[in-house]
Amino acid sequence: MRIGIVCPYTWNVPGGVQQHIRDLAEALIGYGHEVSVISPADEDAPLPSYVVPAGRAVPVPYNGSVARLAFGFLSAARVRRWINDGGFDVLHVHEPAAPSLGLLACWTADGPIVGTFHASYDKSRIVSVTAPILRSALEKITGRIAVSVAARTTLVEHLGGDAVLIPNGVATERYTTAEPLPGWPGEGGALGFLGRMDEPRKGLPTLLRAFEILGRERPGLRLLLAGPGDVDEVLSRVSPELRDRVVALGLVSEEDKVRAYHSVDVFVAPNTGGESFGIVLAEAMSAGAPILASDIEAFDRVLRGGRAGVLFPVGDATALAAAAGDLLDDSARRKQLSAEARTAVRDYDWSSVARDVLRVYETVAGGAGGVIAADRTQGVR
């Protein structure tokens, strides 16, 4: 099967949707399918052989974050050319409601289209205003996937229609074993965080406040941070007497990201909302890291109601500090959580998730009777 996948966010900046698309593409290629991905990306950026750049993205506030999207006549022309040249049996558009390549592809393409909805958000005025415009594109989607109950609810309540639930995948074997980073976790214990450090909804400020509490109680405790953001700005928010025990790596390679999961005694996910799944949890679970996470709905589901990780009230630094201290003092509990996490994450391995996605492709393409082509009646709206 020839499969075209549309990524809405720039390939140059790590993110959960980009990683989902990368892993899905590579799983499908491993099954013998031909896959091409089009994504916003700098022309000179190093890209996998299956990724076609659609030009530089621009930062746009979206879903409580700043997303780097591509939209406009140049992007539309590149999407149209890619579709016409691709001869795809099915087109798979991710986040088709986002103002980026996916929306352009829906307007442009004619044929079997699958849409995957990742985002979870509350209804806003802008959603109400743009819903009629979005529906003109979404009506062309013949198969809909939601990665979580929250994402499915967002689709049903705000945009109309329903979707089959297929969770995000994770390449579990990639995270199973790795050498810790040099000197980690250390005898005094270590907490870890991975995410965009400059994005408030990732919850780093809550973790830093908790470390101010724990760090004074535990002289040897350290905090390992990894992810995009201004390292100096983050460290400036830590009290001078604790600053030398906070190590902020910034953006790390895929290899060092895996090592980071194996470098801490407790992995903390203090996100405050806006997450529909929690791929960072699935990665940490694959690594067998004991997890402490905020009790947002998405995390509660992935951690099986607290059986595969400890939950604390979102935004509560005092509760986070208390729960982290309990885990640091209880190696048996950490070992139990590690085992539960490794078992629970099997449900999200790409070996099963990709096959579920393929079944959707086969369903929508079965009666299509032709390949994807640009719909000459459609253009940029």
* Chain segment 28-37, per-residue pLDDT in tens: 999 999 999 9
pLDDT in tens, 276-288: 778 899 999 999 9
User: Given a cut of 80, is residue 91 above it in pLDDT?
Assistant: yes
Task: Please compute the mean of the pLDDT values over residues 168-197 and round it to a whole number.
Answer: 95
What is the predicted pLDDT for the residue at 139? Answer: 87
CA gap 208, 203 in Å, rounded = 9
Quick one: pLDDT at residue 99?
Answer: 83
Q: Report the pLDDT averaged over residues 206-219.
A: 97
Which of 5-9, 72-76, 214-218 shows the lowest per-residue confidence on average (mean pLDDT)?
72-76
Which helix or strand (DSSP H or E) is residue 282 part of? Answer: helix 279-287
pLDDT band at 377 (very low <50, low <70, confident <90, very high): very low
Print burial letters for 254-285: b (CB count within 10 Å at least 16), e (below 16). eeebbbbbbbbbbbbbbbbbbbbbbbbbbbbb
What pLDDT sits at residue 135?
75
Longest dimension (CA), the chain: 68
Q: Say what the pLDDT of residue 61 is.
A: 65
pLDDT value at position 162? 86
CA distance 176 to 276: 24
Give the span between the Cα atoms of 348 and 344, in whole angstroms: 8
What is the β-pairing status of strands 373-374 and 109-110? antiparallel
Angular region, 195: left φ>0, alpha ψ -120 to 50, beta rest: left
Instruction: Give me 127's structure tokens.
Output: 């959603």
- pLDDT-derived band at 235 (thresholds 50, 70, 90) equals very high
* pTM for the structure as a whole: 0.79
- Least confident residue range of 44-48, 127-131, 346-350: 127-131
Q: Which residue, among 108, 112, 106, 104, has the nearest Cα to 88 in the 3D structure?
A: 112
In this predicted structure, what is the pLDDT of residue 367? 60
Return the CATH number of 172-347, one of 3.40.50.2300, 3.40.50.2000, 3.40.50.920, 3.40.50.300. 3.40.50.2000
pLDDT at 124 over 60: no
Q: Are 59 and 68 in contact (CB under 8 A)?
A: yes
Give the pLDDT band (50/70/90) at residue 348: very high
pLDDT at 123: 56
Query: Whole-number mean pLDDT of the chain?
Result: 89
User: What is the Rg, in whole angstroms, of the alpha carbon atoms belonging to the chain?
Assistant: 21
Whether the domain at 2-169+349-374 and the domain at 172-347 fall into the same CATH topology: yes
> What DSSP state is assigned to residue 346?
G
pLDDT score of 375: 55
Residue 125 confidence (pLDDT) above 60: no
User: Using one digit for the tens of pLDDT, what is the confidence trace for 308-343?
Assistant: 999 999 999 999 999 999 999 999 999 999 999 999
Mean pLDDT confidence for 104-114: 92
Strands 109-110 and 310-312: unpaired
Contact 123, 156 (CB under 8 A): no
The secondary structure of 220-234 as a DSSP string is: T-EEEEESSS-HHHH
- pLDDT category, 126, cuts 50, 70, 90? very low
Domain boundaries, the chain: 2-169+349-374, 172-347
Query: What number is the average pLDDT over the span 358-375?
Result: 77
Nearest in space to 8 (alpha carbons), one of 92, 108, 121, 86: 92
Mean pLDDT of 237-253: 96
Homologous superfamily (CATH) for 2-169+349-374: Glycogen Phosphorylase B; (3.40.50.2000)
Cα separation, 158 vs 335, whole angstroms: 42
Q: What is the DSSP letter of 174?
A: H
The answer, yes or no, to whether residue 245 has pLDDT greater than 50, is yes
When mean pLDDT is compared over 120-124, 194-198, 354-358, the highest value belongs to 354-358
SS3 238: coil
**HSE-CB of 85 using CA atoms within 13 angstroms:** 11
pLDDT of residue 70: 77
pLDDT bracket for residue 376 (50, 70, 90):
very low
pLDDT class of 64 with cuts at 50, 70, 90:
low
